[in-house]
């Protein structure tokens, strides 16, 4: 799921179009967000879904050896909404316009039988973010780019939930998955202290 994490980071960049980095919360220079995805390891196994959705929607995501995107275009933000929806549909996480928590629970408990702690944390993250999805989606849609004439985009709720999930999982990463480096510990401390300070979580 490391690759899924990279995709989620790309989506989060799209979701935070207007945020600026702050720490103290006014000194983010020491934080290297490009390395965040190395801090909390996810299992692999989602690359086919990711590649398929990227191709179908034209969404360009950050790969592990690339720099994080600095300038997010309107087109990228809009294709990001369709990418998130595509991923959730392929994983069968949606029931109509809503997240199907029963399907999410079944997916992680079945796919990660040998890693129950990972499954539990992911389910907890989805459960938490599902509860905030209406509020967070409304906040996302308040961005002026979605009010431009002719703007066509997909339901942003899946992408909004994904962004929230990776933030929650990052903050509650199981000890055996955490890279015990000074850089990662600093980023974690920073992100907990300064809400919405980082563009990628």
Q: What pLDDT was estimated at residue 171? A: 85
Across the range 81-88, mean pLDDT stands at 89
pTM for this one? 0.72
**For residues 2-17, average pLDDT:** 50
CA distance 166 to 103: 18
**Orientation angle between helical segments 116-131 and 101-111, nearest 10 degrees:** 170
Tens of pLDDT, residues 156-183? 889 888 878 878 888 888 888 888 888 8
User: Both tokens of residue 43?
Assistant: 């299992």
pLDDT digits (tens, 9 = 90+) for 41-69: 888 778 888 889 989 988 876 555 444 43
When pLDDT is cut at 50, 70 and 90, the band that residue 27 belongs to is: low
**Per-residue pLDDT reduced to its tens digit, 10-26:** 554 444 443 433 445 66
CATH of 2-193, one of 1.10.238.270, 1.20.1440.60, 3.90.1150.110, 3.30.2350.10: 1.10.238.270
Mean pLDDT score, 122-148:
78
Domain boundaries, the chain: 2-193
Name the most confidently modeled range: 83-92, 101-110, 186-195.
Answer: 101-110
Of 19, 2, 24, 35, nearest in space to 198 by CA: 19
CA of residue 50 relative to chain centroid, distance: 13
């Amino acid at each position: 799921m490391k690759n899924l994490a990279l995709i989620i980071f790309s989506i989060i960049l799209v979701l935070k179009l207007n945020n600026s980095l702050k720490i103290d919360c006014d000194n983010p220079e020491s934080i290297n967000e490009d390395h965040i995805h190395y801090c909390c390891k996810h299992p692999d196994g989602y690359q086919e879904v990711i590649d398929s959705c990227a191709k179908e929607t034209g969404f360009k995501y950050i790969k592990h050896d690339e720099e994080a995107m600095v300038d997010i275009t309107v087109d990228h933000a809009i294709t990001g909404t369709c990418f998130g929806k595509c991923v959730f549909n392929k994983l069968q996480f949606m029931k109509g316009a809503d997240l199907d928590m029963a399907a999410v629970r079944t997916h992680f408990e079945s796919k990660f039988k040998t890693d129950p702690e990972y499954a539990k944390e992911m389910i907890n993250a989805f459960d938490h973010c599902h509860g905030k999805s209406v509020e967070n989606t409304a906040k996302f849609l308040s961005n002026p780019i979605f009010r431009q004439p002719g703007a066509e985009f997909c339901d942003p709720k899946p992408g909004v939930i994904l962004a929230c999930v990776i933030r929650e999982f990052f903050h509650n990463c199981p000890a055996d998955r955490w890279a015990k480096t000074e850089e990662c510990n600093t980023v974690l401390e920073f992100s907990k202290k300064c809400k919405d300070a980082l563009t990628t979580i």
